[in-house]
Amino acid sequence: MQESAKSKNSKIVLALDFPFEAPENRGEILSNAQGILKAVYPYICAVKINHHLSLPLGTFDGVKHLVEQIRGQGLLAIMDAKVNDIGNTNQVIAEYYYAAGFDALIANPFVGWDEGLKPLFDVSKRLGRGVILLCYMSHKGAVEGYGQNIIDPETGGATPQYMSFAKKALKWGADGVVVGATVPDKIREVKKVLGQNVDIYSPGVGVQGGAAETAVEAGSNYLIVGREIISASDPALAAQRLRDSARGV
């Protein structure tokens, strides 16, 4: 990621989160996604794909073609699977998405380590791929889960759930964490724990109210941006402006 960001001079991760289309329009969905990628790739460093495309296009059909295009444009491909199951299932999920060409997966630390995320980390390290953990999401309801207070098993004191996840990201050797651009105060807190050891990916710029400059100033390494780019009348110009805003901090 660092090499890609440096070569592209960009902190922007494009989220190809398209709105719902009738399944019979799969060809149009794929064509639109390919067109967006062709227009914006000079201004981004990676692409994140979610169920918005994997469900209608199929992992080893349309999505694999997109991943090949992404990799061919010198970018990294991240699968936002939010992996959140028992260990055996998590391992199989990882094997399939990595077989489709993805460079990294996003996973949910709520399931824990033993018989939870450990098998996913094992597969990822064996194949030289990355794991990004959710730490604090960008939507308002995130406070109900990621923002709740828990009892720290080591100290016995109260601590925010997201701070516990930040510490686990360090302990487990994660390659990144997700902290919403909508909560710059949380970015600062998590950055103090992670330092330069684990990068912060921040979604929520634009439509959800987060600002690129504010997130970067707070400590974000990469900005995940979807609707602000793909819904723009000129996606390339939108991506370029966001890149320049983040780069100018």
Using CA atoms, how far apart are residues 189 and 195, in angstroms rounded to an integer?
10
Query: Do 216 and 11 form a contact (C-beta atoms < 8 A)?
Result: yes
Residues belonging to the chain: 249
Using CA atoms, how far apart are residues 79 and 73, in angstroms rounded to an integer?
17
Using CA atoms, how far apart are residues 211 and 218, in angstroms rounded to an integer?
11
Residue with tokens 């995940």: 224
Out of 8, 11, 82, 167, which one is annotated catalytic?
Answer: 82
Strand 149-151 and strand 158-160: pairing? Answer: antiparallel
Query: Do 124 and 131 form a contact (C-beta atoms < 8 A)?
Result: yes
Using CA atoms, how far apart are residues 129 and 135, in angstroms rounded to an integer?
19
Residue 81: left (phi > 0), alpha (psi -120 to 50), or beta? alpha
Q: Catalytic: 82?
A: yes
Active site (catalytic) residues: 82
